[in-house]
C-alpha cells in the first residue's frame, strides 16, 4: 500500500542526492541528527501512514463530521490515528528540545508529513494546523502563554486552528469585524472579551483532542467604540475552547460546511461571544496581529502546497499501477490485448503526471530547506519570493495530475470504487484555501516583485544560472539549459514591461504572470534534479528523472510564452472591457 503513497526512493533522491540534507546537520540546531535518525523517522511515518491513515481514507469521506448537542463528532478512526501520531512524537518533531520537541529540520518534517498527506489529507490537516499554531505561539507569545497553550499542542493533546475569515470578509482581512474588549489582566497577559463570527475554520470543533486553541484575528475598538479600518488594526488573540480553569469558553458551532472533499476535516462556522464574550489573551502588542499571523499563514501555504503535491503524487502512482495491469486494445505486431501503458497517449499522460507530481514535491521540499536556512539572508529572500509559488503551483498541477489519473482509469476512475476520484475531490480545495490562485498572483507580482528590493529575484537568478552552467556540460541536458536561460530572459523582460505600465494596470494579469513564473521555477528545479541525477551512479531510476526533466522542457516550458505575453497585455479584454451587466 505504501508504494501508492510516496515511493521512498524518490524521497531519498530529493533529500540526499539533490538537496544534500546532511549539510543542515552542521547547524547547532540540528547537530544531534544524522541521516540514520532522519531515516528512522521516515520509516516510522511511512508505516503509520499505511497502517492507520490510509485505512480510513474512504470511510472518513463517507462518514462526515456531524453536530450532536452542540459538539462536532468525527469518524472514530481519525482519533485513533492522531493519538498514535502524538504517541510517536510527530507533533513535536519540528520543535526544539527545550519545548519538548525532537529538533528535526523542517525539511525532514515535510518529508514525513508527505506520507500522511498522501494517505489521508483530511486527517493530516489537524496536525498541520496544530503545529503551525504552536509555532506561532512559541515565537511571539509570553512564556506563560507558551507553557499554557503551546506545549499541550506540541505534545499532541490539544489541537489548534487559525481563525481569520468571516462570512462578510472572506479573504479581505481589512473587513474583519470581530471585536475584542479589554477585560483586565492576569498571569497570561492582557485578557479580552471577543465577539464575532469566523467562517471556514478547519478543525474549528471536534471530539478528537482534549482542547482546541483558536488563534483569532480581531480588532480592539477605539475610545469612541468604532473599529479601526484596514489590517493595521488587527490584533491576535489566543482563545481556547476550554479555559484554564476547566470551564467552557463562550464559543459555539453555528454550522458545518459540507465540502466536496477534505470531508474528514470538520470545517466550521464559529460564533464567538454569543453571551458574555469569549475570553482570549492578546499575543504581543496591539495592531501586530496580521504580521504575527503571517508566520502561520506562510507555514500553512507551504503545507497546502505539500499536501497538494502528495495527493497528485499518489494519484500518479495509482494510475501507473493501473496502466501496467489494465489490458485493453492492441499494438501493431502484437497479438492480443496489451497493457494500456503501451499506448503512446497513456505514456504521455503518465509522463505528464510524473512531471507535475514529482516537480511539485521537489518545489515544496526545496522551500522546506530554505525554511531551515532562515538565518541566511539569501535563503530568507528566496523563500519569501517562492512561497506563493509553493502554495499555487502544486495546488494547480497536483490537481491536474489527479485529473489525468481519472482519465487513465477511464470509466472506473469516475467511480467511488477507485481512490482517484476522491483524490481529485480532496485536491480541488487546495487552489482555494490559504489564498486563492489570484491572491497568490497579486502577492507574487505586487508584493514580492514590484514592491520589493529585488533581493529574492537576484538570488533566484543567481541559482538558476548556476544550474544552467552545470547542466550545459551534460549532453542530455545542454538543450534544456539553454531553454531555461532563454525563459529567464523572458521573465526579466516581462517584469520590465509590467513596471513601465500605469500603476493601476500592472496587476491586471497577475495570475498569468504567476503561472508563467511558476513554470519557469519548476523547470529550474527539474533541471537541477536532472543534473544531480547525471552525477549519480547510472540506473533506470536516474534515467527516468532525466527523461521527466526533458519531457517538462519539451511539452510544458513552451507554455510560458503565452502566459508571460498575456501578463503584459493592456487591452483590458480579460478584465475591464465588458460592462458588468453584459456578462
Report the C-alpha gap between 33 and 437 in whole angstroms.
37
- Asked about 434 being catalytic, the answer comes back as yes
Count other Cβ atoms within 10 Å, centred on residue 499: 11
Count other Cβ atoms within 10 Å, centred on residue 437: 20
**β-pair partners for 251:** 272
**DSSP codes, 18-70:** IS-GGGGGGSGGGTT--HHHHHHHHHHHHHHIIIIIGGGHHHHHHS--EEETT
Count other Cβ atoms within 10 Å, centred on residue 135: 21
Cβ atoms of 308 and 124 closer than 8 Å = no
Count other Cβ atoms within 10 Å, centred on residue 422: 21
Q: Which cell numbers in the block locate residue 116? A: 500522511
Q: Is the dihedral of CA 107, 112, 116, 119 positive or negative?
A: positive
Cβ atoms of 460 and 380 closer than 8 Å = no
Phi, psi of 119, rounded to the nearest 5 degrees: -75, -45
**Secondary structure letter of residue 405 according to DSSP:** H
**Which element (helix H / strand E) includes 179?**
strand 179-186
Report the C-alpha gap between 567 and 258 in whole angstroms.
36
Report the C-alpha gap between 79 and 82 in whole angstroms.
5
Among the options 299, 421, 434, 556, which is catalytic?
A: 434
The C-alpha angle 178, 300, 205, rounded to 5 degrees, equals: 55
Per-residue HEC secondary structure of 222-267 comes to CCCCCCCCCHHHEEEEEEECECCCCCECCEEEEEECCCCCCCCCCE
In order of 286, 351, 555, the CA distances from 401 in angstroms are: 44, 10, 15
CA atoms within 13 A on the CB side of 277: 14
Report the C-alpha gap between 29 and 532 in whole angstroms.
27
- Look up cell 474512504; give the residue: 58
Q: Which cell numbers in the block locate residue 425? A: 475531490
Active site residues: 434
Amino acid at each position: 500500500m505504501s508504494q501508492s503513497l510516496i515511493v521512498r526512493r524518490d524521497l531519498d533522491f530529493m533529500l540526499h542526492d539533490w538537496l544534500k540534507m546532511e549539510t543542515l546537520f552542521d547547524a547547532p540546531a540540528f547537530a544531534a541528527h544524522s541521516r540514520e535518525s532522519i531515516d528512522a523517522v521516515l520509516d516510522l511515518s511511512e508505516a503509520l501512514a499505511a497502517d492507520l491513515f490510509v485505512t480510513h481514507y474512504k470511510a472518513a469521506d463517507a462518514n462526515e463530521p456531524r453536530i450532536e448537542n452542540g459538539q462536532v463528532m468525527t469518524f472514530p478512526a481519525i482519533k485513533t490515528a492522531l493519538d498514535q501520531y502524538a504517541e510517536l512524537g510527530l507533533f513535536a518533531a519540528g520543535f526544539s528540545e527545550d519545548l519538548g520537541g525532537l529538533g528535526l529540520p523542517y525539511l525532514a518534517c515535510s518529508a514525513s508529513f508527505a506520507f500522511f498527506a498522501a494517505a489521508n489529507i483530511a486527517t493530516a490537516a489537524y496536525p498541520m494546523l496544530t503545529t503551525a499554531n504552536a509555532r506561532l505561539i512559541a515565537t511571539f507569545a509570553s512564556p506563560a502563554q507558551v507553557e499554557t497553550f503551546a506545549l499541550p499542542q506540541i505534545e499532541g493533546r490539544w489541537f489548534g486552528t487559525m481563525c481569520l475569515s468571516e462570512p462578510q470578509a472572506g479573504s479581505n482581512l481589512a473587513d474583519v469585524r470581530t471585536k475584542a474588549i479589554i477585560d483586565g489582566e492576569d498571569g497570561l497577559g492582557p485578557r479580552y472579551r471577543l465577539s464575532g463570527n469566523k467562517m471556514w475554520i478547519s478543525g474549528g470543533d471536534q471530539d478528537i483532542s482534549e482542547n482546541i486553541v483558536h488563534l483569532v484575528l480581531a480588532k480592539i475598538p477605539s475610545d469612541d467604540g468604532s473599529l479601526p479600518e484596514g489590517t493595521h488594526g488587527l490584533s491576535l488573540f489566543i482563545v481556547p475552547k476550554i479555559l484554564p480553569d476547566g470551564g467552557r469558553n463562550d464559543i459555539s458551532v453555528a454550522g458545518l460546511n459540507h465540502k466536496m472533499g477534505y470531508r474528514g476535516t470538520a470545517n466550521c462556522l464559529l460564533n464567538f461571544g454569543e453571551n458574555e464574550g469569549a475570553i482570549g489573551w492578546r499575543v504581543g502588542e496591539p495592531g501586530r496581529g496580521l504580521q504575527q499571523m503571517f508566520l502561520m499563514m506562510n507555514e500553512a501555504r507551504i503545507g497546502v502546497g505539500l499536501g497538494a503535491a502528495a495527493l497528485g503524487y499518489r494519484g500518479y502512482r495509482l494510475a501507473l499501477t493501473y496502466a501496467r495491469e489494465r489490458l485493453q486494445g492492441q499494438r501493431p505486431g502484437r497479438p492480443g490485448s496489451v497493457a494500456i501503458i503501451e499506448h503512446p497517449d497513456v505514456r504521455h499522460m503518465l509522463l505528464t503526471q510524473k512531471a507535475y507530481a514529482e516537480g511539485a514535491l521537489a518545489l515544496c521540499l526545496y522551500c522546506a530547506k530554505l525554511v531551515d536556512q532562515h538565518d541566511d539572508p539569501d535563503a530568507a529572500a528566496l523563500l519569501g519570493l517562492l512561497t506563493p509559488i509553493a502554495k499555487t503551483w502544486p495546488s494547480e498541477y497536483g490537481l491536474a495530475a489527479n485529473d489525468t489519473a481519472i482519465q487513465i482509469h477511464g470509466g472506473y476512475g469516475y467511480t467511488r470504487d477507485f481512490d482517484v476520484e476522491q483524490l481529485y475531490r480532496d485536491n480541488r480545495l487546495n487552489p482555494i484555501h490559504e489564498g486563492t490562485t489570484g491572491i497568490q498572483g497579486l502577492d507574487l507580482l505586487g508584493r514580492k516583485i514590484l514592491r520589493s528590493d529585488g533581493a529574492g529575484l537576484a538570488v533566484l537568478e543567481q541559482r538558476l544560472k548556476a544550474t544552467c552552467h552545470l547542466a550545459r556540460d551534460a549532453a542530455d541536458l545542454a538543450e534544456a539549459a539553454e531553454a531555461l536561460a532563454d525563459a529567464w530572459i523572458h521573465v526579466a523582460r516581462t517584469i520590465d514591461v509590467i513596471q513601465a505600465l500605469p500603476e493601476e494596470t500592472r496587476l491586471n494579469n497577475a495570475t498569468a504572470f504567476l503561472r508563467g513564473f511558476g513554470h519557469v521555477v519548476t523547470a529550474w528545479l527539474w533541471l537541477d534534479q536532472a543534473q544531480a541525477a547525471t552525477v549519480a551512479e547510472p540506473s533506470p531510476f536516474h534515467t527516468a528523472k532525466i527523461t521527466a526533466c526533458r519531457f517538462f522542457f519539451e511539452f510544458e516550458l513552451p507554455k510560458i510564452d503565452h502566459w508571460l505575453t498575456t501578463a503584459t497585455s493592456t487591452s483590458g479584454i480579460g478584465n475591464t472591457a465588458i460592462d458588468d451587466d453584459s456578462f
